[in-house]
Amino acid sequence: MKKKKSKGNTKKQKSLEERMAQELRTVWRRYSPERKKALASRKVRGVAGGFLCQWCNALAIKPNVDVDHIVRVGTRPGSRNAISGETDWNGWIERLTVGASGLQVLCKCCHKYKTKEESK
Ligand SMILES: [Zn+2]
């Protein structure tokens, strides 16, 4: 009986962690001054929403622009593809909130490619 109960709790906790990771990423995207700094450094003057991709150097126009963490953040602690079995949030949050020098502005295409390579 006890086993059944704890199984149910684990399931609930997992989805809570998923949501926490998602919300933290959203807050980072909206409010991180470091993210804004990284974007500003790649802004193309005179082109609305235009940025230079740091990989292919092509002009990317929003929303085709992503800010990438050079060091992979990982889905979330405890997830299947978390970084080397990481289960605690401190390292994850630290990587998420890295300084502007730990970020790069990429076009969607390059970012997609990088993310795919990292999850291999
Ligand atoms: Zn690119």
Q: pTM for this one?
A: 0.83
| Per-residue model confidence as pLDDT tens digits over 56-71 | 999 999 999 999 999 9
Domain count, the chain: 1
| Per-residue model confidence as pLDDT tens digits over 15-58 | 788 999 999 999 999 999 999 999 999 999 999 999 999 999 99
Q: What is the pLDDT of residue 11?
A: 55
Q: Which domain holds residue 40?
A: 2-118
Distances (CA, A) of 31 to 14, 37, 57, 59: 26, 11, 26, 24
**Exposure of 51 by Cβ count < 10 A (0-12 exposed, 13-18 middle, 19+ buried)?**
buried
| Per-residue model confidence as pLDDT tens digits over 5-17 | 555 555 555 578 8
- Quote the ligand 1 centre to 110 CA distance (angstroms): 4
- Are the C-beta atoms of residues 68 and 102 closer than 8 Å to each other? no
Nearest to 44 by CA among 57, 59, 65: 59
Q: What is the pLDDT of residue 29?
A: 97
- Quote the ligand 1 centre to 9 CA distance (angstroms): 43
